[in-house]
Chain A
Amino acid sequence: MKFALFLGCNIPARLKQYETSSRAVLEKLDVEIQDIKEFNCCGYPFRNTDYKSSILSSARNMALAEKEGLSIVILCMCGFGMFKEAEHRLKENSTLKDEINIVLKKEDLEYNGQTEIKHVLSVLYHDIGIDAIKEKVVKRYKELKIATHYGCHALRPSDVVMFDDPVNPDLFDKLVEVTGAESIYWQSRLDCCGAPLFGVNDELSMDLTKKKIINASESGADYMCDSCTYCHLQFDTVQQMINSGHDGNHDLPAILYTQLLGLSLGIDREILGLGYNHIDLSRIEEFF
């Protein structure tokens, strides 16, 4: 099993632990990774202002993977959503596809829709499978309550992303439970983390973040678990900004799924980059 790993812009710059933990977990589960140095932005940030730029960005990435004959695995939900959106648009609109291909031709690239786009959770769940992961688990968490945060852009629009049941998803919960942790039910589990408006309307963005943190906390969670670049920046870096403000303390540490699973697979905590999280994660190992 081999994939082109798409990191996007934020992971190498300010979320290195997501890269190192994902590589370690995928390697442990015998997934081969190929890096494509020429990958560019997924296009997500341009959607508000120039839709075509966002489609072109995604299409170039997919064309690069297509040239290598590889499917793409994405760690970020917003990136995943963007790729799926571009794939959908290019499929339904052949004029757009032709226009995009004229641009790509300059670099000897062509988009033909041959590349499969997968989020890392889908690869773990569908391509590797719960049973195979279970076999590799060496440590199981005991009495650890996890608030599993799905992330909007993997679930919706469901007819485009086709990730899981948009109303009652369980893919991520099952992946959390394979580590022995309990994935609790909490009311706002499918709600937005607030990240798309951070830097644009901080008050609103932080309100949404706080609501989720409080709801998860009150539902008994010890940790929040996410699997998306923006969601994690929001629940870790931004939560710390919220906490350091005068807005009380909602301290609920967030752990990336690849970190949660990685510990369970016996991968070294240094490689998983636990220390890079802004909110202290060190106590999680007490649950083994």
Chain B
Amino acid sequence: MFYSISLYGALIIFIIGLIYKIFSWFSLKISVDSKSGSARFLMAFKGIISTIFSGRILTLLKVFSLDIIVQRKLMQEDFVRWLAHVLIYWAFMLLLLMHAFDSFITSAIFPNYSPTINPFMFLRDLFGFLVIAGVCLAIYRRFIRRAPRPKTNIMDQYAIILLAIIMGSGVLLEGAKIGSYAIYEDMVEEYAALDDAEEIRPLTVFWVKNFGVVSPDIKGPFENELLEEGKELHEMNCAGCHSRPQWAFIGNSVAASVKGIALGLNKAGIHTLLWYIHFLACFIGLAYLPFSKFFHIFTSPLSILANSVMNREDSEIVNIETRQALELDACTHCGQCTSRCSAGIVFEEINNINILPSEKIQSLKKVASKKDIGKEEFLLILDGTYLCTNCHRCTDVCPAGINLEDLWFSMRENMFQRGYPEFSTLSPLSYYRGLMQDTMPEEGYKKPLVLARNAVTAGYNLIKDQAKGITITKPEREFQDLLLSSQASTFRECFGCQTCTNVCPVVANYENPKEILGLLPHQIMYSLGLGIKELALGSNMLWDCVTCYQCQEQCPQGVKITEVLFELKNLAVQHATKNI
């Protein structure tokens, strides 16, 4: 009764969770011009049908076998991880089908099925052993042989703990049952055609000797005659559906190691307790599945399949958004992306966890589901998401087939809507976005650039307000000293010949360069000499410098002009970040 109630309870929670998740795939706002949920659902349905009834079904079948069943991407990338994962994945699936669903599946295929007979008895332990081996390997990989940057979060720990409880309680339960005299008595009562205590005695002797049962009164050594008799009774009554427990090699070794205290355990009803733990852990796992990391058993295959037949050029843009919402759920937090991330090393210098792709996707899930995110956290997510070189490596190695690069791209544009400046847009990290500008409206494309440019020069009005005039005061030494490198301090050597400005291709590009650029290169060097921070940090020239080094190369005084500009840009970003 309790079993059925908890099973159906877990199933109901599981189904509600599943519906909630599927609903979110059609409602989460990922792209800037998001469509309604029903439009997305219809379009997805159309897309799926047209894919299934086309040549692309062959691609899907191939991907299903190679990338979902065999997981070749993972095998190529990291063999140990692949081994750990397929051990857990394949063996757990087999355990699920053969053991957990035995009353639906196994008994339907094998009419003589009984969990206590071979090959099922042996296979259950074999699969269990493989899962445990996989879990041990996973623990070793994640906690002992730690890669430098990937992180383990509470969800990963929960997954491993739950799996460990299910497997551990199963193994202990089997061990407790093998030695249990009460279970033995139940079996005799139910299956053996023996009533008389004297009749049962030889059978008990046989089971105590060979099947690991620990009896309160019958102990060895045994007479051969009695054993022979017991063997006969065993073959008549039990052998048809009970193999020797030695075949259940894990449970049997547990039974052997607790043999001394088996009677006490039996009395305490430990097998009943373990049974409750075992099935409740399974049901908790089932109920929590849509909200846990284990949900990836559904979502990762869907993501792999969807990505094998979709791309930005040919697919409906609406469906891309739905796929990306699904992808947020398909991440297993395995950390493969982070260990191969081109920009991951920067995390050691800029302490923002959102630089790491495996952490970024967790934060973006929050952003997409519009959870209340404070300004400070939001800015970190935005900054971490932009600190990406678009090298595509995360996408190439993701075992869940998530097109991470494209997800970052969509979510960046989504986040720009909130109107906060992102200063990395003023760096070559924007190159990829530039190449992709035809995929977005012009206004949306330019907005973040204007925003960042305005914000980075916001505090410095001296250049904009020319009528104000400059008051010459004592040079701001502290500011001058902020230029850290010995290269940057070469601005002191400038004697004002203007060669830098004369050779600058950016200056040469404009008829009235001062109007556009604010200050020209030589004027920036002057401002530094005079120690006027507002002038040096506020000019557009800093952000329009192409870093071609012509100025620096030709400076007769050896002023490292381009390097000075680089350091001024760093300082301007630092100041502006504080003032957002």
Contact = CB atoms under 8 A, between A and B. Distances in A.
Given A40-B342, A106-B148, A50 B426 contact: no
A158 interface: yes
Contact of B547 (A107, A196, A233): A196
Given A13-B390, A40-B344, A49 B569 contact: yes
A287 interface: no
Nearest to A158: B553
B428 A44 contact: yes
Chain A binding surface SS class: helix
B437 to A, nearest CB: 7
Contacts, number: 168
Contacts of A69: none
Given A13-B392, A103-B349, A197 B343 contact: no
Given A204-B506, A208-B509, A45 B433 contact: no
A84 B544 CA distance: 23
Contact of B391 (A12, A153, A156, A196): A12
A202 interface: yes
A166 interface: yes
A9 interface: yes
A149 to B, nearest CB: 12
Given A156-B549, A197-B546, A48 B392 contact: no
Interface string A21-50: 000000000000000010011001111111
Contacts of A157: 549, 552-553, 560, 562
A55 B469 CA distance: 39
B427 A47 contact: yes
Nearest to A208: B505
Nearest to A61: B345
B391 A10 contact: yes
Interface in B336-373: 340-346, 348-350
A49 B423 contact: yes
Nearest to B452: A200
Contact of B427 (A45, A92, A208, A230): A45
A92 B490 CA distance: 15
Contacts of B324: none
A45 B431 CA distance: 9
Contacts of B449: 200-201
B543 interface: yes
Interface string B544-580: 1011111011000000101000110110010000000
A185 interface: no
Contact of B485 (A47, A56, A93, A107): A93
Nearest to B436: A199
B449 to A, nearest CB: 7
Contact of B392 (A12, A50, A191): A12
Interface string A171-203: 000000000000000000001101111111110
A237 interface: yes
A191 B428 CA distance: 18
A41 B391 contact: yes
Interface in A219-244: 230, 233, 237-238, 241
B430 interface: yes
Contact of B509 (A13, A51, A57, A204): A204
Nearest to A245: B438
B175 to A, nearest CB: 43
Q: Most chain-B Cβ atoms within 10 A of its Cβ — which of A50, A52, A202, A204?
A: A50
A196 to B, nearest CB: 5
Nearest to B393: A12
A78 B547 CA distance: 10
Contact of B346 (A57, A197, A237): A57
B66 to A, nearest CB: 22
A89 B429 contact: no
Q: Most chain-A Cβ atoms within 10 A of its Cβ — which of B424, B434, B438?
A: B434
Nearest to B573: A49
B413 to A, nearest CB: 13
Interface of A: 8-10, 12-14, 37, 40-41, 44-53, 56-57, 60, 78, 89, 92-93, 103, 106-107, 152-153, 155-158, 166, 191-192, 194-202, 204-205, 207-208, 211, 230, 233, 237-238, 241
22 contacts: A9-B342, A9-B390, A10-B391, A13-B390, A13-B392, A41-B389, A45-B389, A45-B427, A46-B427, A48-B427, A50-B346, A57-B343, A107-B148, A152-B550, A166-B553, A192-B505, A192-B548, A199-B430, A199-B433, A200-B427, A200-B543, A205-B546
Closest 3 CB pairs of A and B: A199-B434, A199-B430, A9-B391
Given A49-B570, A194-B546, A200-B426, 19 more contacts: A10-B431, A40-B341, A41-B389, A45-B429, A46-B346, A46-B387, A48-B427, A48-B573, A49-B424, A49-B427, A49-B569, A56-B346, A156-B549, A156-B550, A196-B428, A198-B435, A199-B437, A200-B428, A230-B428
